Amino acid sequence: MIGPGPYRATKLWNETIKLFRGGMPVRRHWAHFRSYDRSFTGAEAVDFLHELLIKNQNFGLEVTRYQTLQLLRKFIKNHVIEDVKGQFGKEDFEDNGHLYRFPPQSPLKPLPVRPPVRDQISVPRIPCWDDYENIPIPVKIPMKPLIMNSGTWNKRHSIAIGELPECKLIRRGELSPKHVDQTWKSMTLTHLQTVLGLQSLDGVLDAKLLSPKHIVHNVFGINKQGIVILKNNAEDLPHWVLSAMKCLANWPNGSDSRQPMYPGFEREVFRTVAEHFQRLKEPLLTFHLYEILVSILGLLQQPSVAVEALQVCCLLLPPANRRKLQLLMRLMAKVCANPTLPPLNNTIGARTLMVQTFSRCILGSADEVDLDELLATKLVTFMIDNHNGVLKVPSNLRKSVEEHLSHLRRAQIKYAGADTDTSMMSPPHLFCRQVSREEFEEQRVSGSHGAVGELLENIIKDKNMSIKDKKKKLKQFQRSHPEIYCRRFPTSESEAALFPEKPQRIKPQLMSLTLKKPFQPFQRSWSFRA
């Protein structure tokens, strides 16, 4: 099973050729009085390849013998096989006893050279608030030591030692529609890349060709049943096509009593619907989404993952395409599940008829791709089986985008003085990269300790702060961050060196008396006795 990724259709083509060439039985055949070694008939090739495709998980049971015949005709056109006379290309493959053989050269297609994965370019960057209003937001980043007075220090750094600084609440304005649309586009493509398990969407999807307005309209511009409501009715299906689809979907209750009822009437109605969709210039899933949808086929062994990937992909469609696809898928599912509807074909069942009729109307490539029909059959079959979930809006995506937009609209707390200090402001554009848990813990410890250590040095070196205030701040710092304080002052001597003792000053009056007369001991000059 080939998983999702770029150029999956080419990989499937090469794999199919390898399996066919490696397993197709060849032997000697006689034709026109001549023998041909290592040859096979057209009927033998159809039988073998049909069985091979049915058993292959990339294609499945829905592959018909006619589709196998069409593929063998592409094989002879691309010189995968040739007739026994060496002719190929313009020759038509026949499902009969005509003889064919394998050419000696390799018919495999080379894979295109994939451009290198570019960081931050595979999907648009998710906008942050800085992009909207260009308002610098304070962030915790390592800072150069600053020389500040005590008043500035109190406002700016007292939070580190347990005090609450002055702050003000700044209300953010409403986001512009352009920024909301861009956020939806960025987060939708990121979600799709995550679901597919790809490192990049390069090679499977060109984000520049997608309209963010289509995504937003497909999410919110819907009715109670989840069907898209178009702003321009001219883009909708014609009234007569909608009436025919309603008639088949609700048969027999959907038929108008005024309509002529005759044998084969339901087939005429179905043919009317089929002819309209088969005349579309572009399939409903658009040429642009072909590669990404083929990649999703590699996830069909995980139905829940494939359904979620299809949900996201269908959000990228123009609203008119999404609405038509929703109505068509509902019709196909109801026709397949309606036992009262007369057979629409005498030879095949309703489900097979729906797949064969509408698969190329739903998925196709701009340039003819060799496995278009088989891949479209596989995808449409899966969509019919999971029609209830494929065209819904993924709830987890909508929730994450709305939470992100709510965060951008949330009010901001700004501390006093932050608007004057340019060193604490974030740059105009911030870019992030994912780090491991170990790196995060290391950066958290080193970053916070480094900033608090710089704060301690600012206290020590502040010459404008009085000794009394400095001792007070150091005591507060010691209580809040004892480890960092002990690292800076490992001994009592190093702490004492910060405040050297000064010689005790003698009072001026005492000093003058000492200079005039030397000190003499007390002497008793007379006796108390009479």
Q: Check whether 366 has a pLDDT greater than 60.
A: yes
Q: Check whether 433 has a pLDDT greater than 50.
A: yes
Say whether both 370 and 280 belong to one domain.
yes
Q: What is the DSSP letter of 35?
A: E
Say whether both 372 and 275 belong to one domain.
yes
506 falls in which pLDDT band (50, 70, 90)?
A: low
Instruction: Tell me if 413 is assigned to some domain.
Output: no
- Give the pLDDT of residue 425: 37
Locus of tokens 């259709």: 9
Instruction: Tell me if 87 is assigned to some domain.
Output: yes
Q: Check whether 174 has a pLDDT greater than 80.
A: no
Instruction: Tell me if 293 is assigned to some domain.
Output: yes
Instruction: Tell me if 150 is assigned to some domain.
Output: no
Say whether both 455 and 306 belong to one domain.
no
More confident residue, 6 or 188: 188
Q: Which of 33-37, 58-62, 236-240: highest mean pLDDT?
A: 236-240
Instruction: Tell me if 295 is assigned to some domain.
Output: yes
Strand, helix or coil at 455?
helix
User: Which amino acid is located at 333 in the chain?
Assistant: A
Say whether both 367 and 296 belong to one domain.
yes
**pTM higher than 0.75 for the full model?**
no
- Give the pLDDT of residue 431: 43
- Give the pLDDT of residue 495: 74
CATH number of the structural domain spanning residue 62: 1.10.10.10
- Do 329 and 384 contact (CB within 8 A), yes or no? yes
Q: What is the DSSP letter of 63?
A: -
More confident residue, 104 or 424: 104
Terminal alpha carbon distance of the chain: 134
Q: Which of 62, 85, 101 is the last residue of a domain?
A: 101
Q: What is the distance, to the nearest Å, from the Cα of residue 273 to the centroid of all Cα atoms in its chain?
A: 36
Q: Which of 101, 130, 159 is the last residue of a domain?
A: 101
Say whether both 366 and 490 belong to one domain.
no
Residues 385-410: tens digit of each pLDDT: 998 899 999 989 999 999 998 888 87
Say what percent of the chain tops pLDDT 90.
41
Instruction: Tell me if 3 is assigned to some domain.
Output: no
Beta bridge partners of 415: 167
Say whether both 289 and 387 belong to one domain.
yes
User: What mean pLDDT value characterizes the chain?
Assistant: 80
Say whether both 251 and 322 belong to one domain.
yes
Instruction: Tell me if 316 is assigned to some domain.
Output: yes
Say whether both 252 and 367 belong to one domain.
yes
Nearest to 459 by CA among 431, 501, 489: 489
For 12, the domain range is 8-101
The CA distance from 254 to 245, in Å, is 9
Say whether both 379 and 233 belong to one domain.
yes
Say whether both 387 and 437 belong to one domain.
no
The CA distance from 258 to 211, in Å, is 44
HSE value, Cβ hemisphere, 13 Å, CA-based, for 147: 4
Q: Which of 392, 421, 453 is the last residue of a domain?
A: 392
Q: Check whether 501 has a pLDDT greater than 80.
A: no
In order, the DSSP letters of 420-451 are: T-GGGBPPSS-------HHHHHHHHHHHHHHH
User: Which amino acid is located at 169 in the chain?
Assistant: L
Stretch 469-493: mean pLDDT = 82
Stretch 69-73: mean pLDDT = 91
More confident residue, 491 or 161: 491
Say whether both 350 and 455 belong to one domain.
no
Say whether both 247 and 341 belong to one domain.
yes
Q: Is 392 exposed, middle or buried (0-12, 13-18, 19+ CB in 10 A)?
A: middle
Residues 256-300: tens digit of each pLDDT: 555 566 788 899 999 999 999 999 999 999 999 999 999 999 898
Q: Spell out a b/e string for 137-172, using b for 16 or more CB atoms within 10 Å of the CB, else e.
A: beeeeeeeebebeeebbbbbbbebbeeeeeeeeeee
Nearest to 192 by CA among 295, 261, 286: 295
CATH number of the structural domain spanning residue 348: 1.10.555.10
Number of domains in the chain: 3
Instruction: Tell me if 427 is assigned to some domain.
Output: no
